[in-house]
Structure 1
Amino acid sequence: VFADPLASETIRKIKQWMDTCASDHPGCALRANPGDPMHAIVPKRLIRLDDQPHGCVRLVSLVESVQYLALSYCWGTSKQRGTTKDNLLARQQKIHLAELPNTLRDAITITNILGFQYLWIDSLCIVQDDEEEWAEQSSKMADIYVGAELVVAATQASDCAEGFLHAREEPLRIVPSDFEHHGLQAVVRRTTTHDLLGGYLLREQPLFGRAWVMQERELARRIIHFLPDELVWRCRNTMRCECGTSKDANQPLSLVLDLCKTAISKSDDVSDISFGQHWTILVKEYVKLKLTYPGDLLPALSGVAQYLHRHGAGNYIAGMWERGITYQLPWFRLPSAANDDTAQSTVLLSPTFSWVTASGPISWVEMISDIITVRCVCVGSTSTPSTANPYGPTQHATITIRGLLL
């Protein structure tokens, strides 16, 4: 592991991981899964890097698809000059790198070094003060992150001002005195102690605490995590660590891909139970994550919902699915500290049967088939979105259940 994250050997390793994935992992190819977009991705806007050596980039709108990277990062509390109605025209001409926060500049740097000309960053490519466009683009997050050739994750940075291309710890060089005249040297560094297979190193990083980021990493076909002391690569097929640790996936490496396996299976009692249980596992993890704006609770999950819908998951109703609904309905609030900033500060306007109305962490009644027998079925549902995002906030929703009444 080299001290410089941009060392030629490190960049060569990233390119090698990408080339191996592209040539040997058919499941990582675009449109390899039913949930993938059925056509090539053309984001509404992209950042073009052709002027980058001169200290400038610009926003472009393309008709035909191109290869691009996408950035996954924490905004943090630092002010960043996002794209607005007032500066959109100017940014289509030129964006000075000096006016961008460090994380965005680092993303542009790594994109350029890897040989790509286009990059997608939410704060630049979406007009931030246009509510209609924001709702429309948030509904396309699945397409954008699935479509990216690589997602660059600023995993170690808790704020956009921090950047992520920092020098790592220098190796410690020891020259044993007994062999000094023979020129023998020993090069050592502190061991990188982590459980890659369990992902604990990643889960401790700031980026993994943000709700918006969950769908970005879950949907990415390929993602590279920049950590304080090394890189971690993950695609749909494998995980690789810069220090040499690796894991090939006999099973999916994400909760969403686990859900996809049950979504595409024929609907019956067993598969519906499995789907409902997998969804509650994902939601339990999701609600622990932080949101700056409580109203983003469903939009930040909408990419996952759209992806699962394409896999055949069925009707989506305010954060729940008609399929396996009887296993999603018995949710309950968990106790949480009043100052717990993972809790939502506002109860959202949603149907009361949905977990979305909970203010804080939640769990579900465990439905053990040997003990509990479900004798009700869902016979219909309706859902009216309140924005242009069909998987976002809900204006009105109903579920019709048929069963025995005591």
Structure 2
Amino acid sequence: MASIYANAYLTIAATASADFDGGCFRERSPTVKVEVTDIAGQISCLYARERLGHAAFDFGISGALQAARRNAWRAESQIDDYPLFGRGWCFQERLLSPRVLHYTSEEIVWECLGMTSCECGTMDRFVGSAVLRERRNAAGVPLDIEVRCGKLERSQALVKRLGMLERFESLSNFRGKLPAVLSDDYAFMSAIEGKPLEMETTDVQMRERWRDLVSQYSHRHLTYATDTLPALSGLAKSWQARSPGLGQYLAGLWEHDLLRGLLWQCVDRGETARPGDYLAPSWSWASLRGAVDWLPFHYEPIYHVTIMAVATQPSGRNAFGEVTSGHVKLRGLVVIATMKTYDLRENTAEMQAHRDCYLEGTEMGQRFFIDSTEEYAALLGQELHCLWCSTDVNDLRTMIGFERGLVLRRCDNTSNTFRRVGVMANFRIAERDAAEVTEMELIII
């Protein structure tokens, strides 16, 4: 499927349709006409129509200003207007297609590797477009494509209109104050300089972009949970072709980004679960169905674990598709704790509906984010292992920051094999007595 869409000349998308019976065509909202007669008896006409939303076409980013991307995407109006964008398989089909013609309820929208355009003209002003950036990246298009498509002049006009050059003294100062999606956009930064820039897509950028893609993809719906990895396999294959430095593909993560990749969290309270069918090892975001994101870092993190071994077993010949098993062997510092039992006088049902849970060690309880809310009751009172993974340094003078860790549950009493059940955003391991911290080698499946 991925190769068909990637090699298509034109993809026609029934973007306003909820299923295959919906078709492309809709009855559009009528234009409002108001006639006004002035004092001289001249009749003037004013035409108006309902203002259209376009945020969903840009992953929730409208124009040059970064909005609340996921909040905009999750808005019911976006889901209702563009149901095709809520489908998991359609995510990679859209990004891999060289050209897409969208039939929406109110207008036709054009997408190619150089631009996005709509009938009302709003999308012609898109700068720093996340979806265009990833479409070009997946297709291996050189970074200067926007300039060759004549968008430099448009970007310069937008920069001037926003008065950005007057507010910042230099490009370096300007870049530091921009959202990443804008500072990473070739045409926009070229407009700031007034000339083409020498830019390359680095392995670090490819890793960050992959995590962003997964986060966006995880909000989509799949009829069959077992399609979680297959529906993203075409993009994974193109990512590896563009950046061999990513290493081996491991059930939705990359070998050379694994330490960062393990630190994902569920972002939808009460909406995550591990399906009955095996999807992926528990350390992969693909092991459950629900929206995910990665714990944020201020700077390049300091890692405290060592990867001893990692492997996944594909179910067939496609290395980017379904997997039947997988494991990662890590060595690091571990604290043993117990998941806290709430006072019976508290609203237990309300507690279970949230993903915030607490761990009791010797004297201190710490919060962690549970992966599957369905596992809440089964984990209460259970012994859990907290693995110290990394430090997010937010003070370069003291090198102090937030400690990140994985919360694991032993598979049985005799083995050293664990399953992931959550993640800790602030481990605070320094506050533990040395006797409470143990160095271990763990296998997570």
Q: TM-score, normalised by structure 2?
A: 0.49
Q: CA distance change for structure 1 residues 344 and 358 in 2, over 3 Å: closer, same or farther?
A: closer
SS at match of 2:216: helix
SS at match of 1:240: strand
Q: CA distance change for structure 1 residues 355 and 253 in 2, over 3 Å: closer, same or farther?
A: closer
- Determine if the alignment matches structure 1 residue 346 to structure 2 residue 279: no
CA contact (8 A) 2:313 2:325 kept: yes
Please tell me whether Structure 1 or Structure 2 has the larger radius of gyration of its CA atoms.
2
Deviations 1:298-355 (A, max 9, x none): 1111111111121124311111111211110122344533xx5x86643534222211
Structure 1: how far apart are the matches of 2:134 and 2:202? 15
Structure 1: how far apart are the matches of 2:309 and 2:103? 45
CA contact (8 A) 2:87 2:222 kept: yes
Higher relative contact order (CA closer than 8 Å, sequence separation 6+): 1
Shift of 1:282: 1.9
Look up the match of 1:235. 112
Structure having the higher strand fraction is 2
Q: Could you tell me which of 49, 59, 76 is aligned with 1:190? A: 49
CA contact (8 A) 1:256 1:304 kept: no
SS at match of 2:100: strand
SS at match of 1:186: strand
CA contact (8 A) 2:275 2:288 kept: no
Q: CA distance change for structure 1 residues 167 and 335 in 2, over 3 Å: closer, same or farther?
A: closer
CA contact (8 A) 1:232 1:241 kept: yes
SS at match of 1:324: helix
Structure 2: how far apart are the matches of 1:358 and 1:373? 28
Q: Could you tell me which of 279, 282, 286 is aligned with 1:356? A: 286
Q: CA distance change for structure 1 residues 273 and 172 in 2, over 3 Å: closer, same or farther?
A: closer
Percentage of identical aligned residues: 29
Q: CA distance change for structure 1 residues 344 and 288 in 2, over 3 Å: closer, same or farther?
A: farther
Deviations 1:149-179 (A, max 9, x none): 1111111111222212123234345555779
CA contact (8 A) 2:37 2:44 kept: no
Shift of 1:221: 1.4
Return 5+ residue gaps in structure 2 as ranges.
63-71, 144-200, 334-438, 441-445
- Determine if the alignment matches structure 1 residue 168 to structure 2 residue 46: no
Structure 1: how far apart are the matches of 2:265 and 2:117? 38
How many residues align structurally?
257
Look up the match of 1:276. 207
The amino acid that maps onto 1:385 is P
Structure 2: how far apart are the matches of 1:399 and 1:258? 33
Look up the match of 1:322. 255
CA contact (8 A) 1:231 1:242 kept: yes
The amino acid that maps onto 1:276 is R
Return 5+ residue gaps in structure 1 as ranges.
1-140
Look up the match of 2:14. 154
Higher alpha-carbon deviation: 158-167 or 372-381: 372-381
Q: Could you tell me which of 134, 138, 156 is aligned with 1:256? A: 134
Structure 2: how far apart are the matches of 1:172 and 1:251? 32
Structure 2: how far apart are the matches of 1:212 and 1:335? 21
Q: CA distance change for structure 1 residues 378 and 279 in 2, over 3 Å: closer, same or farther?
A: farther
- Determine if the alignment matches structure 1 residue 382 to structure 2 residue 320: no
Structure 2: how far apart are the matches of 1:227 and 1:189? 19
CA contact (8 A) 2:218 2:289 kept: no
Structure 2: how far apart are the matches of 1:345 and 1:211? 16
Q: CA distance change for structure 1 residues 377 and 307 in 2, over 3 Å: closer, same or farther?
A: farther
Q: CA distance change for structure 1 residues 333 and 396 in 2, over 3 Å: closer, same or farther?
A: same
Q: CA distance change for structure 1 residues 375 and 345 in 2, over 3 Å: closer, same or farther?
A: closer
- Determine if the alignment matches structure 1 residue 369 to structure 2 residue 299: yes
Shift of 1:232: 1.3
Structure 2: how far apart are the matches of 1:302 and 1:286? 12
CA RMSD between the two structures: 3.8
Q: CA distance change for structure 1 residues 171 and 393 in 2, over 3 Å: closer, same or farther?
A: same
- Determine if the alignment matches structure 1 residue 336 to structure 2 residue 281: no
The amino acid that maps onto 2:215 is K
Structure 1: how far apart are the matches of 2:324 and 2:107? 45
Q: TM-score, normalised by structure 1?
A: 0.53
Q: CA distance change for structure 1 residues 191 and 239 in 2, over 3 Å: closer, same or farther?
A: same
Q: CA distance change for structure 1 residues 369 and 376 in 2, over 3 Å: closer, same or farther?
A: farther
Shift of 1:260: 5.6
SS at match of 1:152: strand
The amino acid that maps onto 1:290 is H
Q: CA distance change for structure 1 residues 232 and 379 in 2, over 3 Å: closer, same or farther?
A: farther
